[in-house]
Amino acid sequence: ITWLKRGGSLSDNVSLLFNGSLLLQNVSLEHEGTYVCTATNALGKAVATSVLHLLEQRHLDSKSVFPKDRKKHMLQVSNAGTDSSDPTGEPLPPEPFWELGNWTHCSATCGHSGARVQRPRCVLADGQEVSEALCQHLPKPLAGFQPCNIRDCPSRWFTSPWSECSVSCGEGFHSRQVTCKRTKANGTLQLMSPGACVPKERPPGRRPCSGHPCGQW
Protein backbone atom coordinates (compact mmCIF):
# COMPACT_ATOMS: atom_id res chain seq x y z
CA ILE A 1 0.00 0.00 0.00
CA THR A 2 1.35 3.39 -0.97
CA TRP A 3 0.02 6.91 -0.45
CA LEU A 4 0.70 10.14 -2.30
CA LYS A 5 -0.75 13.64 -2.20
CA ARG A 6 -2.11 15.00 -5.45
CA GLY A 7 -0.25 18.14 -6.49
CA GLY A 8 2.31 17.92 -3.69
CA SER A 9 4.36 15.66 -1.44
CA LEU A 10 3.65 14.02 1.90
CA SER A 11 4.96 16.00 4.87
CA ASP A 12 7.38 14.64 7.48
CA ASN A 13 4.71 14.24 10.19
CA VAL A 14 2.80 11.61 8.17
CA SER A 15 3.09 7.90 8.93
CA LEU A 16 1.61 4.69 7.48
CA LEU A 17 -0.16 2.44 10.00
CA PHE A 18 -0.12 -1.36 9.95
CA ASN A 19 -3.67 -1.48 8.54
CA GLY A 20 -2.74 0.72 5.58
CA SER A 21 -4.25 3.93 6.95
CA LEU A 22 -2.39 7.21 6.70
CA LEU A 23 -1.92 9.08 10.00
CA LEU A 24 -1.50 12.87 9.90
CA GLN A 25 -0.36 14.61 13.08
CA ASN A 26 -0.40 18.33 13.94
CA VAL A 27 -2.76 18.97 11.04
CA SER A 28 -2.53 22.44 9.45
CA LEU A 29 -3.82 24.12 6.29
CA GLU A 30 -0.88 22.79 4.26
CA HIS A 31 -2.29 19.27 4.72
CA GLU A 32 -5.52 20.15 2.88
CA GLY A 33 -5.95 18.34 -0.41
CA THR A 34 -6.60 15.00 -2.08
CA TYR A 35 -4.68 11.90 -0.99
CA VAL A 36 -4.42 8.87 -3.29
CA CYS A 37 -3.93 5.35 -1.95
CA THR A 38 -2.75 2.52 -4.22
CA ALA A 39 -3.07 -1.11 -3.09
CA THR A 40 -1.65 -3.96 -5.18
CA ASN A 41 -1.54 -7.75 -4.85
CA ALA A 42 -1.52 -10.82 -7.08
CA LEU A 43 -5.15 -10.28 -8.06
CA GLY A 44 -4.80 -6.74 -9.30
CA LYS A 45 -4.65 -3.13 -8.21
CA ALA A 46 -7.06 -0.70 -6.56
CA VAL A 47 -6.78 3.06 -6.29
CA ALA A 48 -8.83 5.14 -3.87
CA THR A 49 -8.83 8.80 -2.91
CA SER A 50 -9.62 10.67 0.29
CA VAL A 51 -10.12 14.42 0.54
CA LEU A 52 -8.95 16.30 3.63
CA HIS A 53 -10.91 19.53 4.05
CA LEU A 54 -10.35 21.70 7.15
CA LEU A 55 -13.32 23.72 8.35
CA GLU A 56 -12.30 24.97 11.80
CA GLN A 57 -10.84 28.40 12.46
CA ARG A 58 -7.15 28.84 13.22
CA HIS A 59 -6.29 29.26 16.92
CA LEU A 60 -4.28 32.37 17.72
CA ASP A 61 -1.87 30.52 20.01
CA SER A 62 -1.08 27.76 17.55
CA LYS A 63 0.00 27.31 13.96
CA SER A 64 -2.38 24.40 13.62
CA VAL A 65 -6.07 24.70 12.89
CA PHE A 66 -7.21 22.30 15.61
CA PRO A 67 -7.08 22.53 19.41
CA LYS A 68 -4.34 20.53 21.12
CA ASP A 69 -6.59 17.54 21.74
CA ARG A 70 -7.60 17.34 18.06
CA LYS A 71 -4.32 17.47 16.15
CA LYS A 72 -4.58 14.02 14.60
CA HIS A 73 -6.49 13.05 11.50
CA MET A 74 -6.59 9.62 9.91
CA LEU A 75 -7.35 9.00 6.26
CA GLN A 76 -8.83 5.64 5.37
CA VAL A 77 -9.67 4.16 2.00
CA SER A 78 -13.34 4.04 1.06
CA ASN A 79 -15.11 2.51 -1.91
CA ALA A 80 -15.76 5.91 -3.45
CA GLY A 81 -13.33 6.82 -6.18
CA THR A 82 -11.73 3.41 -6.75
CA ASP A 83 -10.15 2.31 -10.00
CA SER A 84 -9.58 -1.44 -9.97
CA SER A 85 -8.13 -4.06 -12.30
CA ASP A 86 -9.35 -7.62 -12.68
CA PRO A 87 -6.97 -10.64 -12.50
CA THR A 88 -6.29 -10.39 -16.25
CA GLY A 89 -4.94 -6.88 -15.83
CA GLU A 90 -7.77 -5.26 -17.79
CA PRO A 91 -8.87 -2.02 -16.09
CA LEU A 92 -12.46 -1.79 -14.93
CA PRO A 93 -14.45 1.37 -15.73
CA PRO A 94 -13.51 4.03 -13.15
CA GLU A 95 -16.22 5.12 -10.74
CA PRO A 96 -16.66 8.90 -10.49
CA PHE A 97 -17.11 10.57 -7.12
CA TRP A 98 -17.65 14.02 -5.65
CA GLU A 99 -14.65 16.15 -4.72
CA LEU A 100 -14.43 19.77 -3.61
CA GLY A 101 -12.63 21.87 -6.22
CA ASN A 102 -10.20 24.74 -5.75
CA TRP A 103 -11.16 27.84 -3.82
CA THR A 104 -12.41 30.74 -5.94
CA HIS A 105 -10.76 34.15 -5.73
CA CYS A 106 -12.00 36.35 -2.90
CA SER A 107 -15.00 38.43 -3.94
CA ALA A 108 -13.63 41.58 -2.26
CA THR A 109 -10.20 42.97 -1.43
CA CYS A 110 -11.25 44.49 1.91
CA GLY A 111 -14.23 45.36 4.10
CA HIS A 112 -16.56 42.73 5.56
CA SER A 113 -18.27 41.15 2.54
CA GLY A 114 -15.40 39.18 0.98
CA ALA A 115 -15.97 35.45 0.54
CA ARG A 116 -14.52 32.55 -1.41
CA VAL A 117 -16.26 29.35 -2.41
CA GLN A 118 -15.12 25.76 -2.95
CA ARG A 119 -17.64 24.05 -5.23
CA PRO A 120 -18.12 20.27 -5.48
CA ARG A 121 -17.26 18.62 -8.79
CA CYS A 122 -17.64 15.11 -10.17
CA VAL A 123 -14.22 13.57 -10.90
CA LEU A 124 -12.46 10.30 -11.61
CA ALA A 125 -9.65 8.89 -9.48
CA ASP A 126 -7.04 10.59 -11.70
CA GLY A 127 -8.63 14.00 -11.05
CA GLN A 128 -10.36 14.32 -14.43
CA GLU A 129 -13.65 16.22 -14.12
CA VAL A 130 -16.70 14.58 -15.69
CA SER A 131 -20.40 15.37 -15.99
CA GLU A 132 -22.23 15.81 -12.68
CA ALA A 133 -24.88 13.42 -14.00
CA LEU A 134 -22.40 10.56 -13.43
CA CYS A 135 -22.34 11.37 -9.70
CA GLN A 136 -26.04 12.02 -9.18
CA HIS A 137 -26.49 8.67 -7.40
CA LEU A 138 -23.99 9.79 -4.72
CA PRO A 139 -24.61 12.27 -1.89
CA LYS A 140 -23.42 15.67 -3.10
CA PRO A 141 -21.28 17.51 -0.52
CA LEU A 142 -22.05 21.08 0.42
CA ALA A 143 -19.92 23.78 -1.14
CA GLY A 144 -17.18 25.18 1.08
CA PHE A 145 -17.51 28.82 2.13
CA GLN A 146 -14.93 31.03 3.81
CA PRO A 147 -14.86 34.75 4.60
CA CYS A 148 -11.72 36.41 3.28
CA ASN A 149 -9.88 39.74 3.18
CA ILE A 150 -11.75 40.91 6.30
CA ARG A 151 -9.77 44.09 6.94
CA ASP A 152 -10.10 47.87 6.78
CA CYS A 153 -10.18 49.32 3.27
CA PRO A 154 -7.93 52.20 2.17
CA SER A 155 -9.45 55.65 2.53
CA ARG A 156 -11.24 57.02 -0.54
CA TRP A 157 -13.46 59.91 -1.58
CA PHE A 158 -17.24 59.74 -1.18
CA THR A 159 -19.71 62.18 -2.74
CA SER A 160 -23.32 63.15 -2.02
CA PRO A 161 -25.88 63.75 -4.81
CA TRP A 162 -25.71 67.06 -6.69
CA SER A 163 -27.90 69.86 -5.36
CA GLU A 164 -30.39 71.81 -7.43
CA CYS A 165 -29.03 74.78 -9.35
CA SER A 166 -28.29 77.66 -6.98
CA VAL A 167 -30.27 80.16 -9.06
CA SER A 168 -33.59 80.08 -10.84
CA CYS A 169 -32.35 82.28 -13.66
CA GLY A 170 -28.98 83.28 -14.98
CA GLU A 171 -25.71 81.53 -14.15
CA GLY A 172 -25.32 79.47 -10.97
CA PHE A 173 -23.85 76.19 -9.79
CA HIS A 174 -24.65 72.70 -8.50
CA SER A 175 -22.84 71.63 -5.33
CA ARG A 176 -22.26 68.41 -3.43
CA GLN A 177 -20.38 67.22 -0.37
CA VAL A 178 -17.04 65.49 -0.90
CA THR A 179 -15.70 63.60 2.13
CA CYS A 180 -12.85 61.21 2.80
CA LYS A 181 -13.95 57.92 4.40
CA ARG A 182 -12.90 54.32 4.70
CA THR A 183 -14.88 51.10 5.02
CA LYS A 184 -13.85 49.25 8.17
CA ALA A 185 -13.61 45.48 8.58
CA ASN A 186 -16.99 45.44 10.36
CA GLY A 187 -18.68 47.14 7.39
CA THR A 188 -19.12 50.61 8.90
CA LEU A 189 -17.89 53.83 7.29
CA GLN A 190 -15.35 55.90 9.21
CA LEU A 191 -14.91 59.60 8.46
CA MET A 192 -11.26 60.44 7.81
CA SER A 193 -9.33 63.68 7.42
CA PRO A 194 -8.95 64.86 3.79
CA GLY A 195 -5.23 64.14 4.00
CA ALA A 196 -5.95 60.40 4.30
CA CYS A 197 -7.26 60.33 0.70
CA VAL A 198 -5.30 60.95 -2.50
CA PRO A 199 -5.63 64.70 -3.26
CA LYS A 200 -5.43 64.37 -7.05
CA GLU A 201 -8.31 61.87 -7.02
CA ARG A 202 -10.65 64.27 -5.21
CA PRO A 203 -13.83 64.72 -7.30
CA PRO A 204 -15.15 68.27 -7.84
CA GLY A 205 -17.64 69.63 -5.33
CA ARG A 206 -19.14 72.25 -7.67
CA ARG A 207 -20.17 72.51 -11.33
CA PRO A 208 -21.81 75.35 -13.26
CA CYS A 209 -25.47 75.46 -14.17
CA SER A 210 -27.84 78.01 -15.68
CA GLY A 211 -31.52 78.75 -15.33
CA HIS A 212 -33.78 80.48 -17.80
CA PRO A 213 -32.84 84.05 -18.77
CA CYS A 214 -33.70 86.55 -16.08
CA GLY A 215 -36.46 89.03 -16.97
CA GLN A 216 -35.73 92.69 -17.74
CA TRP A 217 -37.53 95.44 -15.81
List per-block mean pLDDT (blocks of 10 residues) for the chain, which spans 217 residues: 80 77 79 82 77 60 44 42 47 76 92 92 88 89 91 95 91 94 92 95 94 72
**Rounded to whole angstroms, how far apart are CA atoms 2 and 47?**
10
What is the pLDDT at residue 44? 72
What is the pLDDT at residue 56? 55
CB 15 within 8 A of CB 23: yes
Task: Dihedral sign for Cα 126, 132, 137, 141, please.
Answer: positive
What is the pLDDT at residue 65? 42
Torsion angle in degrees (nearest 10) through CA of 181, 182, 183, 189: -30
Give counts: helices (H), strands (E), the chain.
0, 14
**Rounded to whole angstroms, how far apart are CA atoms 193 and 155?**
9
Of the CATH numbers 1.20.1050, 2.60.40, 3.30.413, 3.40.50, which one belongs to the domain with range 1-95? 2.60.40
What is the pLDDT at residue 78? 41
What is the pLDDT at residue 39? 81
**Rounded to whole angstroms, how far apart are CA atoms 161 and 174?**
10
**Long-range contacts made by residues 190-198, C-beta under 8 angstroms, separation at least 24?**
192/155, 196/155, 197/155, 197/156, 197/157
- All CATH 2.60.40 domain ranges of the chain, comma separated, are 1-95
What is the pLDDT at residue 89? 52
Task: Dihedral sign for Cα 72, 53, 9, 43, please.
Answer: positive
Three-state DSSP at 70 gives helix
